[in-house]
A and B are shown apart, each in its own frame.
Chain A
Amino acid sequence: MKTQIDPNKYEKVFEKTDGLKNVKTHYCPGCGHGVVHRITMEIVKELDIQHKTIGIAPVGCSVFAYYYMNVDMQQAAHGRACAVATGIKRMLPDHYVFTYQGDGDLAAIGTAETIHACSRGENITIIFINNAIYGMTGGQMAPTTILGQKSSTSPEGRNPQRDGMPINMSEIVALLPGTVYVERVAVNKPGRVRKAKKAILKGFKAQALKKGTSFIEVVSNCNTNWKMTPVEANKWIDDVLLKQYPLGVFKDETGL
């Protein structure tokens, strides 16, 4: 179905950025990854750094980010995206290097690489998608799963005596002297998407200052494994998930 739009009557105010490749994503309907892919690539286009941006894809649902983002990408071993980004940034210091990781990648198997990259203050941008569950493998409990949340390995809810407490990565890395900008945002509402875009834009701009790591945590949904519809999942983020993961700026030394 092709709708004809009269160009004399209407002006285009929003269209798909050509920073994204013109392919269909494999993500579930309603998944927040698509939104974060879009805002990241819009920023790359707006800053006009497409020719010198290198992204690091993780292992997880977003492993195929290199099929969707129209920049140079490298896929890293599970959890090692920050280590790979360190190597690339040190060899090509005038390039913009970002990692795009989920919570199973960054907060579970890759905690050491993440914390040490932030501690060294590498000039990279870390985009951390937190959906409080292991999405790709079938909804197992992640370190970020909140107390009482049901998953396939905690069918009666996460129990703090048996499973421990959830981990808040933004608060942890904000304590490290190497980070320059740490913010937690969400993408469940149009206004929050605008704020998320501003945060990631600041993260990319912070790389040019060469002061340290910028870390942006994006609270996203996983409606398939939360067993909800996309609309319910976005409401659940507001009602429940953001109580454990409050939004806000945890550290900002960029001076921007």
Chain B
Amino acid sequence: MAKQKGMVVIDTENCKGCGLCIANCPTNTLGFSENFNANGYHYSEMKQDTCIACQSCALVCPDVVITVYRLKKEKTV
């Protein structure tokens, strides 16, 4: 398992389930959820801890529901 370097937080209620973030994720981190949101869309969610915080998903998301976080680098003494 690759070391997790980032994390995405998805505003699931506004996600329309278009799947563009999933198609553009280079590490296959994202996938469709089995659950529905209030509008009946299968929203996308993180399926595994391989996010590298590349922001590809956020750049192509038409509904701007993705917030990307990057792991802070540990300070070396």
Contact = CB atoms under 8 A, between A and B. Distances in A.
Interface of A: 1, 3, 5, 8-17, 20, 24-25, 27-35, 38, 187-190, 193-194, 229-231, 234
Given A10-B70, A13-B53, A13-B68, A30 B59 contact: no
A14 B53 CA distance: 9
Task: Report, nearest first, the 4 A-B pairs whose CB atoms are least far apart.
Answer: A34-B62, A30-B18, A29-B16, A29-B18
A30 to B, nearest CB: 3
Contacts of B63: 24-25, 27, 34
A33 B62 contact: yes
Interface in B15-72: 16-20, 23-24, 41, 53-56, 58-72
B59 A234 contact: no
A31 B67 CA distance: 19
B9 A231 contact: no
A24 B16 CA distance: 10
Interface residues of B, number: 32
Contacts, number: 89
A9 B61 contact: no
A30 B56 contact: no
A3 to B, nearest CB: 5
Given A25-B63, A34-B62, A231 B71 contact: no
A11 B60 contact: no
Contacts of B72: 8-11
Given A29-B41, A34-B64, A190-B55, 16 more contacts: A3-B9, A9-B72, A10-B69, A10-B71, A11-B69, A11-B70, A13-B69, A14-B68, A16-B64, A20-B64, A25-B62, A30-B19, A35-B62, A189-B24, A229-B19, A230-B19
Contact of A13 (B23, B56, B62, B70): B70
A34 B55 contact: no
A231 B69 contact: no
Given A230-B20, A234-B20, A12 B62 contact: no
B40 to A, nearest CB: 11
A35 B60 contact: yes
B56 A190 contact: yes
A187 B63 CA distance: 14
Contacts of A9: 71-72
Contacts of A1: 12
B16 to A, nearest CB: 4
Contacts of B70: 10-11, 13
10 contacts: A10-B69, A11-B70, A12-B68, A13-B70, A15-B68, A28-B16, A29-B16, A30-B19, A35-B59, A35-B60
A214 B41 CA distance: 39
B14 A230 contact: no
B67 A12 contact: yes
Contacts of A193: 59-60
